[in-house]
Amino acid sequence: MKCPFCGHLETQVVETRVSEDAGFIRRRRQCGHCEKRFTTYERPDVSFPAVVKKDGRRVDYVPEKLRASFSLALRKRPVSTEQVDAAIDRIEEKLLNLGAREVPATRLGEMVMRELKKLDKVAYIRFASVYKSFDDVSEFMDAVRETSRSKT
């Protein structure tokens, strides 16, 4: 690690700490030349696959959009933030485990619907009605019937 003060290339790690959530590692370093100390942080460099939209456009995966979709579907529903965070974490883990550079938006939407179905049936119907672009009440009723038949 290059010293930010004198540019010397040899530094020594004096102290290492893992963050409370284990999201990063904090290291205190000391320069072998000027002996000044500085802090570095190590974080995993994770890249999510690009999302391929129905029209063929490729866009970056944006975690905030996923959270916004959950928030909209779960508006005024009795689901805790921790449950939503866990569902989003499961989706993101699946995306990373795919190992693909691209994922169709439809596949991402199916993942969201699966998680919403586990969390809250009403939120699932709300999301499905927009995601599947229901044209009439019969499609809406079919989704409600299918949801009431399932046990999860």
Question: Which domain range does residue 79 map to?
Answer: 50-149
Same domain, 35 and 81: no
Same domain, 80 and 109: yes
Same domain, 18 and 88: no
Same domain, 72 and 122: yes
Rounded Cα distance, 10 and 133, in Å: 60
Same domain, 63 and 115: yes
Residue 6 lies in a domain: no
Rounded Cα distance, 87 and 127, in Å: 15
How many structural domains comprise the chain? 2
Same domain, 80 and 99: yes
Same domain, 38 and 55: no
Residue 2 lies in a domain: no
Q: What would the two tokens of residue 113 be?
A: 């619907």
Per-residue pLDDT 10s for the chain (152 aa) are 899 999 999 999 999 999 887 788 999 999 999 999 999 999 887 789 999 999 999 999 999 999 999 999 999 999 999 999 999 999 999 999 998 999 999 999 999 999 999 999 889 888 887 767 667 777 767 777 777 776 54
Q: 3-state SS of the chain: helix, strand, coil percent to 5?
A: 45, 20, 35
Residue 4 lies in a domain: no
Residue 17 lies in a domain: yes
Which contacts of 108-112 are long-range, i.e. CB under 8 A and separated by 24 or more positions?
108/51, 108/66, 112/66, 112/69, 112/70
For the chain, the straight-line distance linking the first and the last C-alpha, in angstroms and rounded, comes to 51
Same domain, 103 and 121: yes
Same domain, 55 and 94: yes
pLDDT on residue 151: 56
100: CB partners within 8 A, 6+ apart: 49
| Closest to 69 (Cα-Cα) out of 107, 124, 27, 32 | 124
Same domain, 92 and 38: no
Residue 77 lies in a domain: yes
Residue 89 lies in a domain: yes
Same domain, 96 and 34: no
Same domain, 38 and 101: no
Residue 58 lies in a domain: yes
